[in-house]
A = this chain, B = another copy of it.
Amino acid sequence: MNHAHEGFHNLRNVDDALASFLKSIEHRRLRTELQPLPQCLNRVVADEIIAKNDVPFFDRSVVDGFAVRFSDIEKATEARPVVLEIVGESRLGEIYKGTVPGRCAIAVATGSIMPKGADSVVPIEDVTQSGRRRITFVNGVKLGENILRKGEDVSRGKIVLERGRRVRAQDLGALKTLGINKIRVAKRPRVAVFSTGNELVESFRGKSSYQTVEINRLVLSAKINELGGYTINLGIVKDRKESIIRALRRAVKLSDLVLISGGSSVGQRDLVPSCIDAVGKPGMLVHGVAMRPAMPTGLASVNGIPVISLPGIPVSAMFAFLVFGRPMIAKLAGMNVVPESKLPARTAMPIKGWKGFRTFVRVGLRETADGLIATPVESQRSSVIMSIVKADGFVAVPEDAGEIPAGQMVEVTLFM
């Protein structure tokens, strides 16, 4: 008998399990909506955005100074300065009506539209002004210098934001400049969550209570929220087939993804899976994954809606979510990358994995002169929630590694 398997006989490799799970929504069409810019921060671009205008719309000065004809000043030197007459100003937000005559200059500010006739701008600090209307140049500029050309920032027809990209603060600015006030983004995935367990209660009932405070919905909601989804909280459900089936039917109807916490361990091993199979096709795709924690995780598809059966233990539920829930939400949200932060670090001590399992070892990070150092947190028991509270992230020890030696570079995935 193999202690490690806790009664699961056909454990699936993590990557295979994830691939079949993601494949189950392959033909699903992305749900999208038009949203005004201020609502689009961190949303995902659903249709690639093409510039319909040039930015800037006119040639503009990029410095405060004087717009001139290059031919007038190109030979200016300390020994043979050139003197021009200031004949006007191209004010911000206006256009200079005339044409710059020879041996004349027009005052410009950063952003001023280039006056007709001028082809270069000399910065204010490179000239000497004498009186109100005369300026002296001692060194020239290059032809066309200090000008931002029409369309140089964004040119009409070019892609501004690619499909699947997360919208950042500066992207909103670029869109607004282009006259785009709404964009089509992916709808936020709806994730239904419920927990099963007769021992579970909604809140703390004192330290002499034998019952367990249910925390997975709170933690999962927060993670779902971080990823841009929103949670439909379907409560705590008793460990009874009819109750679970009823909750699951409702969940599948309301959401794009269902997370069921609990009811996946050996004792109750087939309770949630058998309910899943009873509700729709194809039902369970995977039950039992070669990972630690969260080995009893189940992955399913019920009439097109992906379902994850997460272990009830909070640490295991977290890893089942990170490994399967996060990429599924990213895909449902149309993201072209799964949002996660990884940092390279050096191991402070050997990091032990379970042979044959992908082992998620929780680590703390410490900055040193030689870079980040990763140290496993004291307890790695999945029953210890402080193992993920004290940790900054985790190292995934590969199935065939056994142990990562001290002093080795590893990738640490941060808890967000």
Interface residues of A in 86-109 (CB under 8 A from B): 91-95, 109
Please measure, in the bound complex, the distance between the C-alpha atom of A215 and the C-alpha atom of B213, giving whole angstroms.
47
Q: With A110-B265, A181-B204, A313-B110 as given contacts, are A6 and B64 in contact (CB-CB < 8 Å)? A: yes
Instruction: Determine if B179 and A204 form an interchain contact, defined as CB atoms under 8 angstroms apart.
Output: yes
Interface residues of A in 147-167 (CB under 8 A from B): 148, 152-154, 160-161
Instruction: Determine if A171 and B93 form an interchain contact, defined as CB atoms under 8 angstroms apart.
Output: no
In chain B, what residue has the closest Cβ to A168?
B415
Which residues does chain B contribute within 8 Å of A344, judged by CB atoms?
344, 371
Instruction: Determine if B174 and A64 form an interchain contact, defined as CB atoms under 8 angstroms apart.
Output: no
Instruction: Tell yes or no: A364 within 8 A of B by CB.
Output: no
Which residues does chain B contribute within 8 Å of A55, judged by CB atoms?
385
Instruction: Determine if B212 and A111 form an interchain contact, defined as CB atoms under 8 angstroms apart.
Output: yes
Which residues does chain B contribute within 8 Å of A225, judged by CB atoms?
41
Instruction: Tell yes or no: A336 within 8 A of B by CB.
Output: no
Number of identical monomers bound together in the oligomeric complex: 2
Which residues does chain B contribute within 8 Å of A389, judged by CB atoms?
160-161, 170-171, 174
Which residues does chain B contribute within 8 Å of A198, judged by CB atoms?
91-93
Instruction: Tell yes or no: A370 within 8 A of B by CB.
Output: no
Interface residues of A in 391-416 (CB under 8 A from B): 415-416
Q: Mark A310-347, 1 if CB is under 8 A from B, else 0.
A: 00111000100000000000000000000001011000
Q: Mark A199-239, 1 if CB is under 8 A from B, else 0.
A: 11001101111111101101111110110000000000000
Instruction: Determine if A93 and B207 form an interchain contact, defined as CB atoms under 8 angstroms apart.
Output: no
Instruction: Determine if B203 and A58 form an interchain contact, defined as CB atoms under 8 angstroms apart.
Output: no
Q: Mark A132-157, 1 if CB is under 8 A from B, else 0.
A: 00000000000000001000111000
For A, the interface residue count at a CB cutoff of 8 angstroms equals: 96
Instruction: Determine if B221 and A207 form an interchain contact, defined as CB atoms under 8 angstroms apart.
Output: no
Instruction: Determine if B179 and A207 form an interchain contact, defined as CB atoms under 8 angstroms apart.
Output: yes
Please measure, in the bound complex, the distance between the C-alpha atom of A198 and the C-alpha atom of B171, giving whole angstroms.
24
Interface residues of A in 264-311 (CB under 8 A from B): 265-268
In chain B, what residue has the closest Cβ to A150?
B207
Instruction: Tell yes or no: A63 within 8 A of B by CB.
Output: yes
Instruction: Determine if B204 and A266 form an interchain contact, defined as CB atoms under 8 angstroms apart.
Output: no
Additional A-B contacts beyond A110-B313, A110-B383 (15; CB < 8 A) = A3-B126, A6-B123, A60-B383, A64-B266, A91-B198, A109-B267, A109-B268, A110-B265, A111-B212, A153-B379, A154-B386, A170-B318, A170-B389, A176-B204, A177-B213
